[in-house]
Chains A and B, each alone.
Chain A
Amino acid sequence: MKATPAAPNAPSASDSPKTLSPAEKRWWRKVMRDFHVRAFGEELARINFLPEKQRKAAVAEMIDYARSKGVKLGKPALGVTR
C-alpha cells in the first residue's frame, strides 16, 4: 500500500473520549433536539430522537410512503458521487 502522510485530524491519545454525566447528556439532548427541529423540522426531529429500533422503522415508513407516491429518492447517474 502507498505510504500516506501523517493525518493531522487523526484522533490523538490525549483526546480519549470523556464520559459525560447524566445531567450533561440531558443538556446535550435538549440542545440537539432544538437544533434538529430548526434544521430538519418537527417530524424528522421527533423521529431522530426515538430509540434505534423505532427510529429505523419510522424512517423506513417515511421513505416507503414517499416512494409509493412517486418521489424519486435514487441518485442520478453522474459518474461521480458527492
Chain B
Amino acid sequence: MIPYAELEKFFCDLVSQAQSRGIPCAITSGMACVHFGVAATTKDCDVLCLAEKSDEFRALVSETSLHGLLPNYRGNISPPLDARWMRGGWTSHFTWKTKPEETCLDIFGIAPRGSSAWEQQLQGIYARYNVVAEMKRTNREKDWPFATSLGAQMLMEGDVQGWLHIYDADILKQALRKSAIPERLLPLRPILKLAPFDDRMLVRRALMAERTFWSALDEIRVRIFQHHLRPYVSAVRKASAGRRDLSVSDSHQIRLACAEQHLPQLPLRDYGLKQMLAEARETVGMTIAPDVLQWLPAAEGNFYGL
C-alpha cells in the first residue's frame, strides 16, 4: 500500500510541475480540504485544469510514473481529456494501477457550480476556499459541513465572501456577531436577508431548501452526463477490444473518435441551464414547500465558464 503522505506528495508534485510548465491547474475537493484544515478521508485527487491546456496536461500526466507505473485512462467510462469536452463540464479520469488499490486522478475543466474564474483564485497549488466550497454543494449530505467550515474559515480571515458558504443555522447567527453581511451579497444569497437569524425555524427551513436545491441541481447535472455516457462506454469498450492497459496516447485516440460520435461537447448547455434551475426549484417546492422558494439563490451565475 502506498502511504497517503506519498500519494499527496505525488499529486502535489504533479500539479506543481504543471504550473511550472504554464498550465493553470489546482488541487481541489478532498485533498484541498485536508490542506485547509478540514480532514477528509480521501486518497485520490481532484484537479482543476484550464480546458485550453488539456493537451499539455494530458502529455504531462501520461509521462508521470508512480512506483514505476504509467497511468491509463480509468476504465472505458472516462471521457477524453480534450479541450472541446472539458469546456462543456465533462471530467476526465486517470488511474495508476498500483496494488492493492489503484491511485486515481479526476480532472475538471470547469468547476461545478463555480461562479467566478477558478484560475484566478489559486493559493499555490490549491484552489482557494471559495472554489472548493462551491464545488462542495453536492448531493452528498456529508459535503455540507465542509462547505460551512470553508465559509467560516473565510470569514475568520476577514473575507466576507464566506457568507455565501455557511449552511448551518448556529454558525450563521454567531458569525453575525463578528462580521457584517455586505449588501451586494443579498441578491446572490437571499437567505442572508433573514439576518439576524432569530427565527430559527424559518432559517432552518430556508437552509434545508437551499441544500435541497443544490443537491437536486447536482443530481440533474450527473444524470445528464450519465445519459450521454452509456453509448460512449459501449463504443470505447468495443473499439478497445476489452484492453484496459492501453497507453494514454493510444486510448486517447480511441476515446476521441468515440466522443465525436457519442458525447455532446456542451451537454448542460444543450439541456438548458435555465431548465436545470427550474427543475431543481421544482424539486424544492415539491419536497419542502412552495413558500421557501423565495429564499433560494438565483444560481444563474453558478455555471461560470460553461
Contacts and interface: CB of A to CB of B under 8 A. Distances in A.
Interface in B29-46: 34-35, 37-39, 41-44, 46
A81 B8 contact: no
A60 B9 CA distance: 11
B39 A32 contact: no
B168 interface: yes
Contacts of A29: 156
Interface residues of A, number: 54
Nearest to B160: A15
Interface string A43-56: 01001110010011
Interface residues of B, number: 71
B39 A48 contact: yes
B152 to A, nearest CB: 5
Interface in A34-82: 35-36, 39-40, 44, 47-49, 52, 55-60, 62-64, 66-68, 72-75, 77-82
Nearest to B38: A48
A81 B93 contact: yes
Contacts of B161: 9, 11, 15
Contact of A35 (B39, B164, B171, B222): B171
Given A39-B148, A64-B3, A31 B229 contact: no
Nearest to B74: A77
B159 A79 contact: no
Given A9-B161, A80-B222, A81-B106, A35 B75 contact: no
B176 to A, nearest CB: 11
A75 B5 contact: no
A77 B34 contact: no
Given A49-B37, A59-B4, A64-B1, A7 B116 contact: yes
A28 B5 CA distance: 29
Interface in B208-250: 218, 221-222, 225-226, 229, 233
Nearest to A49: B37
Contacts of B130: 9, 11
Interface of A: 1-2, 4-5, 7-12, 14-15, 17-20, 24-25, 27-29, 31-32, 35-36, 39-40, 44, 47-49, 52, 55-60, 62-64, 66-68, 72-75, 77-82
Given A11-B130, A35-B148, 10 more contacts: A7-B115, A10-B116, A11-B116, A35-B168, A35-B171, A40-B38, A56-B8, A64-B4, A72-B101, A79-B229
